[in-house]
Structure 1
């Protein structure tokens, strides 16, 4: 980084990934900053710059003291360990210290007295219980799909559907009384109670009673504006994975145009957007949503586009560029392992690639602030 790049950096002000400190004299205060960055996206602490972005500079004694504070904080003030890297940068003959804090790989991080802190814009705040679960999930210490379903009983499982599925997949017939044992063997239950994964795959249509956020909210709007009060069609869909996929797909299919593509006038036209594209993006939402984030999957159909929004940003710092190149991380690995026998899904990370190859007019939004992932499919024609 040169002086010009540094000046641009500090003139942009503090944000989620950048913190200014005029000076530091307390190891506990430094530890809180390191923990907050590690529990969020990582970032930089620039010491020797005030809150307004003016470079004050540090003396040689300041630098020695802060290095000692950094060492003390690392050994005494948080768990698990954090490994920041410090560097001295000179700007207009004034020295500042830049501490680079990586995004934590073993979240969540806490102070020795048990406080969990994260970044929120340019500030710090305590981590909520929902965020705590998501951080454990990111580090692989906890999976939402393995969460036991409170208030559920085995009558909530569609036994006929599961027995048929089991016979087709494993070529073995089970009795209804065998289902709890089979669920445990397949990681769909533990200690006699089925988990979210078991309910999501094989539950009956009363699943919303068991866990919030298992509906698909579908609306086909007039016009291009989400704020419009008029709509052509709407549906609230609940049930297991198979039902969610089939009915959500059917909603989209009946609310998009069909074009003849040179076919006979009396023949059924082709969907304006190829259905394999819809299948890939909708399956992605159903299988990779974050069950620790409250909310339903939403399908919005507008005159110029289709939006599929799923709760939870991309996991483990996956980026949109990553997924466009076929990189994938399974947030719900057990659900994904069964999905290819239930819906059109291959499970090799190529779904986004296939969708873009068939129909390039797709955009993605990975919103880490509000915590959602959105696929926007632009419709053909003059209404874009």
Structure 2
């Protein structure tokens, strides 16, 4: 049964998993939507709804209805399996009628196209026609994507977490005795049929990660490590500065609950500048919507095939780093990450969406940017390579010290919005170390020249924030500190 079967189809938001269309909707366009769902995370089209009113399916002729039932093999290449669920409704004519729920599963090794060889992808609530370059990226990513659907032969039903399984049953209103009937259609189990047509089942990687009591027994890297450091850098040996460290394991939902509790307990309140009023406000170190979204994204979209790496949440005095194994999924880049969605693990993404952890389009990565801006914090930073995605959230550690000096607060408060990144960094370093040299600033802001560092310090001196200490105009030992 589809999760939408027991919901009000007129009020469900259209998004990456759901769309509503009239029974008279163009057949080729309908095929393109189903193709887009299949190439993305799977999804459902509710057919028989017009302008958020039930028109029903009975306005169609029998031939037209049959054409809809055959759309997967007549208008899609290769043939697309479409599950059709009939939901009884009362149409706008006050007659008993039906809405058809056309549901497709996400593809792994296949890339679906229409008869014109056009490929579509569901991005948010839109059906996006894929470019040639995007198509190549999607084809490359299919092998990685197939991992979550592989079976875990050693895992058995008794390995599942009873509490999570019970919640999952309630999500779908499932009351049957054979649990495989729920897990198989959702990609959490795989079915094998022998020569006598008797079915046997095995849990998939997605099924183990979502429902198993101890996923790391089968997928060793399926964990989250939390490390809290004292200071701005990780130290080793006798200088090791780890304050708190915890390894988190279990089904994904429980891991998310645990890391959220741990991190929330570690967060502080900072004084942050309101750029509109010039006054300082007390705010949490990071907005919860931003850091939680970052962790959920890591859990949802990481490459679980990377067995030698795990998700890491690293907390420093000045920033929070969330490390996710594996590069960005196909068609997603640093430039389009705010508006483009593509799941490397669509079955995991769907399950976490149903559990309420993954948000619909428009609230994901874009929410991280929005929430950070609302808290007067810098934009998130994404550092990406082929092996990992690293999200960096910076706090306002500078602002804590402003409360100690009213004169300095008023002066910097007036000029803060006019300062550039390198100047703000210089103030941050001085608050921690007391002084700063030009060479130290250049090292702290990767990619900037010595002249940029020198000009930043000169400007801070000019506006009365820094004073220069030197025995001679060109002294190599000169440094800057805050004015008294």
State the TM bucket, normalised to the shorter chain: 0.5 to 0.7
Q: Deviations over 1:97-153 (max 9, x none)?
A: xxxxx979568xxxxxxxxxxxxxxxxxxxxxxxxxxx9760368522101113211
Q: Check conservation: 1:221, 1:232, Cα contact below 8 A.
A: yes
Q: Counterpart of 1:303?
A: 317
Cα distance in 1 between the residues matched to 2:302 and 2:182:
25
Q: Counterpart of 1:323?
A: 337
Q: Deviations over 1:150-179 (max 9, x none)?
A: 321111111342133212x2223233xx11
SS of corresponding position for 2:397: coil
Q: Deviations over 1:24-70 (max 9, x none)?
A: xxxxxxxxxxxxxxxxxxxxxxxxxxxxxxxxxxxxxxxxxxxxxxx
| 2:174 aligned residue (172, 175, 181) | 172
Cα distance in 2 between the residues matched to 1:366 and 1:222:
26
Q: Counterpart of 2:209?
A: 200
SS of corresponding position for 1:323: coil
Cα deviation, residue 238, structure 1: 0.4
Change (3 A) 1:211 1:355: same
1:238 has 2:240 as partner: no
Q: Deviations over 1:210-245 (max 9, x none)?
A: 112101111000111123412111100001111111
Identify unmatched segments of 5+ residues in structure 2: 1-131, 192-200, 273-281, 399-427, 430-484
Q: Counterpart of 1:279?
A: 292
Cα deviation, residue 180, structure 1: 2.4
1:183 has 2:207 as partner: no
Cα distance in 2 between the residues matched to 1:240 and 1:278:
20
Cα distance in 1 between the residues matched to 2:206 and 2:285:
34
Q: Counterpart of 1:365?
A: 383
Q: Check conservation: 2:285, 2:396, Cα contact below 8 A.
A: yes
Q: How does 1:58-207 map to 2 (within 5 A)?
A: 105=135, 138-139=141-142, 143-167=146-170, 169-175=171-177, 178-191=178-191, 192-204=201-213, 206-207=214-215
SS of corresponding position for 2:260: helix
Change (3 A) 1:270 1:174: farther
Q: Counterpart of 2:234?
A: 226
Provide the TM-score with structure 1 as the length reference. 0.58
Cα deviation, residue 372, structure 1: 0.2
Q: Counterpart of 1:341?
A: 354
Cα distance in 1 between the residues matched to 2:356 and 2:255:
10
Q: Check conservation: 1:237, 1:247, Cα contact below 8 A.
A: yes
Cα distance in 2 between the residues matched to 1:293 and 1:105:
24
Cα distance in 2 between the residues matched to 1:364 and 1:230:
25
CA RMSD between the two structures: 2.6
Cα distance in 2 between the residues matched to 1:347 and 1:140:
25
Change (3 A) 1:274 1:148: same
Q: Counterpart of 1:378?
A: 394
Q: Check conservation: 1:297, 1:308, Cα contact below 8 A.
A: yes
Q: Counterpart of 2:220?
A: 212
Cα distance in 2 between the residues matched to 1:308 and 1:148:
29
Q: Check conservation: 1:105, 1:139, Cα contact below 8 A.
A: no
Cα deviation, residue 345, structure 1: 2.1
Q: Check conservation: 2:164, 2:211, Cα contact below 8 A.
A: yes
Cα distance in 2 between the residues matched to 1:341 and 1:300:
28
Provide the TM-score with structure 2 as the length reference. 0.47
Q: Check conservation: 2:227, 2:315, Cα contact below 8 A.
A: yes
Cα distance in 2 between the residues matched to 1:367 and 1:155:
39
Cα deviation, residue 201, structure 1: 1.1
Cα deviation, residue 331, structure 1: 0.7
Q: Check conservation: 2:300, 2:348, Cα contact below 8 A.
A: yes
Cα distance in 2 between the residues matched to 1:185 and 1:317:
27
Cα deviation, residue 349, structure 1: 5.6
Bigger Rg, structure 1 or 2: 2
